[in-house]
Structure 1
Amino acid sequence: MDAHSRVGPSGSMVLTNARVVTESELFNGTVHIRNGMIADVDRGRSQVPGALDCRASILMPGMVELHTDNLEKHIAPRPGVLWPSIPAVITHDAQIVASGITTVFDAISVGDVVAGSTRLKTLETMVNALQVSKRDRMLRADHFLHLRCEVSHQGALEMFRSLVDQTMLQLVSIMDHSPGQRQFVNLDKYREYYMGKHGISAGEMEEFIRTRQEDSRRYSDRYRKAIAGICRERGIPMASHDDATPEHVDESAGFGMSIAEFPTTLEAAKASHQRGMMVMMGAPNVVRGGSHSGNIAAATLAQEGVLDILSSDYYPASMLDAVFRLARLETNDYDLTRAIATVTAVPARCAGLDDRGSIAAGKRADLVLVSECKQQPVIESVWRAGNRVY
């Protein structure tokens, strides 16, 4: 395929001899694109002059990523180093597109567990850089803002109120990373994670744990209610985070949350499904074969039929790898079509983006062409709104 193929002068393009993945089936076919939209989907090969031969590679929808903190790595590539924000956003965007993601919700942390952290220092910088980069058409993927509210942080509510009018804001998640509950029921895992990530010494760790638990008691319930109330008033979709018990799930559903991010137990994941919430798990969990925090494995939720969405979380390339691994597991009912829906159609619907996420007439031509080499998926091309961006 021509490495520089784009929509032609007439605004049309034909992709043929592709293994087309729709929401319900996979077949050899042809996709007709006109003015950035999918005009038609046919079975079989097209003889239209100029049609691009996909050589029987898989043609799937562009992936929709609801939760990634990947931008942080480009803003602060090393301890004590802050990179210029616009180049950081552009580099992050290039990595996102190269991973087959055409719509991304950049998850920016509002509050943190460590005072004076880089996350706190760069919050407004990252949000402003995203706004400017999108406004000035510097980006290849379609970017939205996802505010991750750390409700155990003293200043979280005030910071959230200062950002809630951002035009890019399309999703809010509410989280509490204090030790002894949710993600970090296991205090040994908590110590391992924060001592490694933030360089906290063993002597300092017990005081750190005590302080974080006190902050949670002081702020979390009050801030969770306040932020959820603001989101309901404004119609902003909400996600829970690290629910571990049916009581957590009942509270989240009561606040009107529609997505259950990273439930830590099978019990919580099943309860979320029963309450009509879509269950999101990390794609790295699938690729690595389990949770780095020692919680429930995403593959276990797939076996139980309660895995709805995969997110790259901290590693963008994990989404595509996870999809193909999920489809190869023999202990669940996720064939390639259903596995691909966890990163396309389902997250698009949850985010209220009805114009994308599937290959069907009338949908936006966000597409990814994928080949396989020894069971490793390899991205050949990516189109956003019919224009080739990778």
Structure 2
Amino acid sequence: MGRSDDPRVQAQLDRLSSLSIQRDTLGLDTVRELLRRLGDPQDRLAPTFHVAGTNGKGSTCAFLRAMLEAAGHRVHVTTSPHLVRYNERFRVAGTLIDDARLADLLEEVFDAATGLGCSFFEITIAAAFTEFARVPADACVVEVGLGGRLDATNVLDADVLISCGIAALGIDHERFLLAPESSVPDDPMARIAFEKAGIAKSGVPLVTLNYGAGETLEIERAALRAGTALKMHGREWHASLDDAGLHYRDFAGVLDLPHPSLPGLHQAANAGLAVAMLRHQERVAAAPADLARGLREAVWPARLQRLSPGPLAGERAVFLDGGHNRSAGLALAEAIEGEHHLVIGMLDNKDPRALIEPLADRTRSIQVVPVPGHDAHRAEVFGSSAIARVDLADAFAHLPADDAPVLVTGSLYLAGEALRLNREIPD
């Protein structure tokens, strides 16, 4: 949960830490009842962008926020997970929620949740929507937590939603998203697409990337069931990246935009998705100049972030990424040039090959560290050359004395620990 110097906040974090992250069986009944007790704040939000996806949904939210703020809008944002401080999940009109307000808010939501057996994420989303309904704003950006169809954020309906988006798809959270169920697709990737597309709502544009045939079919079916227009990359809109920048076109014309601020070729897709989500709705205005400025200024920590010189990184080139599945591994392999040293920590419910294999031909050394507060893979599952270290500080103390950069990856929880040790606290 992170730690807080404020005893009232810490008391609420201790309550949160006693809850399961997600309930064993996903569903919306409990969170709907909690929100009903709180006065249904989800029905009183500012015009809302809702973003799902296996990889890239957080980056898409970061681009949306930056472009909306460049246009002068007050924007609420809820994303997950947090990296260092739980407060990161609540950006209220552009600013992370302060400790005093957070303590009051969580106490209120916990009181309303008495007897419901809510999960960590249900409490968190109810708190976010409660605060967002009280503070005036021009727009909200909401990131799906897990899946889409049965995620706690999917209580949002067409009255508040103005654009739904789906970023890249991949296999992750198999226990929940591939659980046996009648009347769902059998193919794993088609099932993932089915779950993500469950956020589609009547009359709200569903804006997506392009996918394989099976995934596309499921998304098309979801749009038809919901009664909404599907806006897919490569059909209704197009985006491509070259040395000059990001080139975007759709029904309204052509935009020549700057390179996205977030590093990695995969960020072109996330940036394009954010532009398309804005361009395919009419309630919140953003001019081309605002889109350009937002792409240049977007910030999203722990996504191929180069650490500043500090207590952990020293003066060495250190890159930090929270990737933990094969899609992320392939994106990292495409983005990173040359050889590097790998410092990795991965939850034991993730596939260790997902990152090791795409990066194998350029990895000089592998050091494996625990993920603080979580059950993580041991060093031997990463291969015979992997060396176990006590923690990140121990791993950095044993880095070879050469000029190769370091990649710290495998978990966003580990990324948060790296930021904390290097004193780069997200704000």
State if a TM-score over 0.5 links the two structures.
no
TM-score, normalised to structure 2's length?
0.27
TM-score, normalised to structure 1's length?
0.29
Structure with the bigger RCO (C-alpha within 8 Å, sep 6+) is: 1
